Amino acid sequence: MNTRCSLLVSLLAIALSGCGPKDATPAAAKAAAPAPAAAAPAPAAPRVIEITANDTMKFNLTTIEAKAGETIKIVFTNNGTLPKEAMGHNLVVLKPGSDGGAFCAAAMAAKATDYIPESLKSQVVATTALLGPKKSEEIILKDLKAGEYPYVCSFPAHFAVGMKGVLIVK
């Protein structure tokens, strides 16, 4: 019964579509047309760069390269196990020409603001929050200009043991 019904429906559909195949074709073409347009922004999706840190106080990547005009997404993950108060990590991207060491020295007294010193805040291009173990956060750097951007973890003493890197944009 059901089979016969659906067969009838199918036949009806064929009969109906047979009435105006010429109308149907441009309509389908129109419907399909926006698809490539919608897909066009896809290449602009930011390149994702994964950076990790752990209890050894090192970034897995100490050099990142990007092209001028590029937008990148940095996904930063603290894979460590020690508590945030003892071994928190952040990833702070500074403007070209900034002194990462001076920034981190000032950061030591900035516990209240997650080790982002108010006095040097203007040097920050982007930063994650201070992350505890197994936490992850992303930052997006849009339309990068050429230059060398130092990045650091500003948790006390982490810069001194080498928790730093550079984003080179050319």
Nearer of residues 163 and 167 to Cu ion, judged by Cβ? 163
Give the nearest distance from C-beta 158 to Cu ion in angstroms: 4
Nearer of residues 141 and 153 to Cu ion, judged by Cβ? 153
Give 3-state DSSP helix, strand, coil % of the chain, rounded to 5.
Answer: 35, 30, 35
Q: Does 153 bind Cu ion (CB under 5 A)?
A: yes
Give the nearest distance from C-beta 146 to Cu ion in angstroms: 28
Q: Does 58 bind Cu ion (CB under 5 A)?
A: no
Query: What type of residue sits at position 56?
Result: T
Residue 24 to residue 31: CA distance in whole angstroms: 11
Binding mask 85-114 for Cu ion (x = CB under 5 A): ----x-------------------------
- List the structure tokens of 21: 């195949």
The residue from 131, 163, 167, 169 that contacts Cu ion (CB under 5 A) is: 163
**E strand map for 90-134:** 92-94, 124-127
Query: In sequence order, which residues have a C-beta less than 8 Å from that of residue 24 and are 6 or more positions away?
Result: 17
Q: Does 164 bind Cu ion (CB under 5 A)?
A: no
Cβ–Cβ < 8 Å for 33, 137: no
The residue from 106, 116, 158, 169 that contacts Cu ion (CB under 5 A) is: 158
Residues at the site binding Cu ion, with contacts judged by CB under 5 A? 89, 153, 155, 158, 163
